[in-house]
Structure 1
Amino acid sequence: MKDFPAAYQVSEGSALSVDRPFYERIAAETGGRTLVDAFTVPIRTGRAWSVPAGHVFRIVAPEGPQVGDLNIWNRHDPRERLWAARTRQLQGAHVTTFDRLWSTLPFLRPLVTITADTLAHYGTDEYGGRVHDLLGTRCDPYVNKLLTGQDFHFHCHSNLTRAVMPFGLTEFDVHDVLNVFQVTGLNHDDLYFMRDCPAKAGDYLEFFAEIDLLCALSTCPGGDLSVPLWGPDARDPIEVCRPLAVEVYRLAPELTEGWRSPEVAPYRGQHGLHAEKGWWDKA
């Protein structure tokens, strides 16, 4: 089968061009880091936390395979948040080291850059599956009710909703996620599939915060996804649920010398409207 070129091409010096040596140094030179926050997210719960610009944070699988659903916002303006769909187009449906997670319009800038991924070796499996998924989204109680007729209150959407309430956010702020440690793809019927999580105890995905962030993570109630969640063979997967851990580090100052947070997109949002003309007039 021929490979068709990507629609969004990376050219030298463009916004999609990443300074790899800079992020390689951040990943490699860990001796000067200072741990400023660390906590565990128990099974079937969520937790939100802040990350200052220029810091790194890790999501760790401390006890073995477990999927986590990650939301990210601008700490000072939650209207700016992870835009999963555009990130899929600019980076890929699955992400790894040097990929960035992009924010919504009208901001459109990198929120984070991935600096380390212990599952980068996974590649593409025999079913076409890849790890760290942007192809799907969070599980939620609304779909569950449609499919099963039952109420379940600890889906990732609900876990994230509870997690962000102390920060003044609501269910309406919860958005499409990065599914950390989750392997997914599209089958021959072009339908979304999920398969068992490949993470081992100690595996992690690490991010560099490009701006001040608010993050929230849900430990998926499906656990490692090795148990069918819907259909005739579905059963409660609680025995394959495990916690996740988060670590936030301040970097040695010399590592970020000369770096600054990316500016928002330069387009200023006229959208063809001009004050001297009616809105119906063409530019």
Structure 2
Amino acid sequence: MPDNPRATSPAAAYQATKGGALDVDREFYGKLAATHEQHELVDSFVIPIRSGKAWTVPQGHLCRIVTIEGPQVGDFNVWNLNDPRERLWAARTRQLQRAHVSTYDRLWSNLPFLRPLLTITNDSLADYGVDEQGGRIHDLLGTRCDPYVNRMLSGEDFDFHCHSNLTRAILPYGLTEFDVHDVLNVFQCTGLNDEDKYFMKDCPAKPGDFFEFFAEIDLLCALSTCPGGDLSVPLWGPDARDPIDVCRPLGVEVYRPAPELLEGWEPPQRAAYRNLHGLRQPQWGQAG
């Protein structure tokens, strides 16, 4: 038996088989990343500090989130534009991919849809790996900050947490607070400490770092510039103070790749399971 029980890790529960649903065509997505300078920029904007914005990304397009002025965490939600009942399923994505995602990982949708909403094509922080404290980048372990927990922990109301920013951002698309869901924390460095408790560290991003993905279907996206900024200042506890001085905007860019780069690609179909769940279908026209 090894001295350190953690030295030998068990195999992942969900494993890819060649040609299966979890087997990503790295050549296809790698080519999209390698030809970035050839893509047509079709939309770009800046999200100011402590705010949120929603936008659309057509299927077959690329979207890049950029730390234009330096380290800043962004809380990201994503839905099927044409049916927002389909949205990111963070828990299943953690199982099918990783708790911290990067290039070639996918964000998967909830039941009964269960398909990749997007595939990550490029990540300037992909080489960060695991730091000396177990921190990793682009977090699916935690979720968005919200005014309900803030009130519970601090006794104060604050209307610009990520949950609230996302709520305001999606209102123009006919969605409400009930549609906001567990997020991907882009550029956020997190992990589990020795007590198996969630921790957050300073964001390591520099000006110009980016996180890029390919839309597998028509997407509605929303992003909040976290009011914690780069998370170098505690939000709760005895050392908490207002971290507004470490808050920065984030940039978003949407690109259309050349049609020939998409040859052979098809949008993923929703899950093949027929949704019967062991129930019998009625046999119309039969007596008894």
1:32 alignment partner in structure 2? 38
**Structure 1, residues 192-232: CA drift from partner, whole Å, max 9, x if none?**
00000000000000000000000000000000000011000
Query: In structure 2, what residue type is equivalent to 1:187?
Result: N
**Structure 1, residues 2-27: CA drift from partner, whole Å, max 9, x if none?**
11111101110110000000000000
Query: In structure 1, what residue type is equivalent to 2:245?
Result: E
Unaligned segments of structure 2, at least 5 residues: 1-6, 284-288
Distance 2:182 2:266 in 1: 27
What is the SS of the residue equivalent to 1:87?
helix
What is the SS of the residue equivalent to 1:77?
coil
1:156 alignment partner in structure 2? 162
Give the counterpart of 1:84 among 90, 94, 99.
90
1:194 alignment partner in structure 2? 200
Query: In structure 2, what residue type is equivalent to 1:212?
Result: D
Tell me by how many angstroms 1:151 deviates: 0.1
Tell me by how many angstroms 1:258 deviates: 1.9
Tell me by how many angstroms 1:83 deviates: 0.3
2:279 alignment partner in structure 1? 273
Distance 1:276 1:214 in 2: 37
- 1:143 corresponds to 2:123: no
Distance 2:146 2:274 in 1: 36
Q: How many residues align?
A: 277
**Structure 1, residues 63-93: CA drift from partner, whole Å, max 9, x if none?**
0000000000000000000000000000000
What is the SS of the residue equivalent to 1:21?
helix
What is the SS of the residue equivalent to 1:255?
helix
Tell me by how many angstroms 1:31 deviates: 3.4
Query: In structure 1, what residue type is equivalent to 2:169?
Result: A
2:105 alignment partner in structure 1? 99
Distance 1:210 1:92 in 2: 19
RMSD: 0.8
Query: In structure 1, what residue type is equivalent to 2:265?
Result: W
Give the counterpart of 2:55 among 18, 36, 49.
49
Query: In structure 2, what residue type is equivalent to 1:155?
Result: H
Between the aligned residues of both structures, percent identity stands at 72
Query: In structure 1, what residue type is equivalent to 2:108?
Result: W
1:20 alignment partner in structure 2? 26
- 1:238 corresponds to 2:262: no
Distance 1:10 1:102 in 2: 15
1:258 alignment partner in structure 2? 264
Query: In structure 2, what residue type is equivalent to 1:6?
Result: A
Query: In structure 2, what residue type is equivalent to 1:52?
Result: P
Query: In structure 2, what residue type is equivalent to 1:58?
Result: R
**Structure 1, residues 110-146: CA drift from partner, whole Å, max 9, x if none?**
0000000000110000111100000000000000000
Distance 1:158 1:83 in 2: 20
Query: In structure 2, what residue type is equivalent to 1:259?
Result: W
Tell me by how many angstroms 1:29 deviates: 1.1
2:134 alignment partner in structure 1? 128
What is the SS of the residue equivalent to 1:205?
strand
Tell me by how many angstroms 1:276 deviates: 4.9
Distance 2:229 2:162 in 1: 11
- 1:7 corresponds to 2:16: no
1:281 alignment partner in structure 2? none
2:3 alignment partner in structure 1? none
Distance 1:155 1:120 in 2: 27
Give the counterpart of 1:63 among 62, 69, 94.
69
1:184 alignment partner in structure 2? 190
2:81 alignment partner in structure 1? 75
Unaligned segments of structure 1, at least 5 residues: 278-283
